Amino acid sequence: MISAIAAGGKGLTGGLVAIAVVALFFGLGSWALMRITQDKPQVAMTAGMLVYVVQILLIGVFIVAFSGTTLFNGRAFGFTLLFTALAWVGGQIRQTLTSRMLYVDPEPSVPPQEEATPVKTGSPDGV
């Protein structure tokens, strides 16, 4: 890892912690988004934005909570966190753009009605 080369053992620890934080927060966010939109696909955009904002806020809280730590290199942690989060979001964007999701049903959900033959009835005027 680049952070291990740049900052030694504490840089490696910071990079690994950053990868774990991104994997945990973004993985849980993806799981939550799938659960929220499973029954209500019409709320996907709103739920996606809410989940993303919560993820960024939690990462911010984590950064502030560990800003003065000596357990790992903060700069290596920050850069690894940034690049890993951008890679995750970029992968999600690529997957969304390249997936072939149907937006219409290829088969109707209701079977087609057979054409009824016209029934000859007498006209009201007796003709």
pLDDT in tens, 22-75: 999 899 988 988 888 888 878 888 888 898 899 889 888 888 888 877 888 878
- Residue 11: burial class (beta carbons within 10 Å; 0-12, 13-18, 19+): buried
So what's the pLDDT on residue 9? 80
pLDDT in tens, 7-28: 678 788 888 888 999 999 899 9
Residues 6+ apart with CB under 8 A from 44: 33, 37
Distances (CA, A) of 23 to 17, 19, 26, 27, 30: 10, 6, 5, 5, 10
pLDDT in tens, 86-114: 998 899 889 888 887 766 666 666 666 76
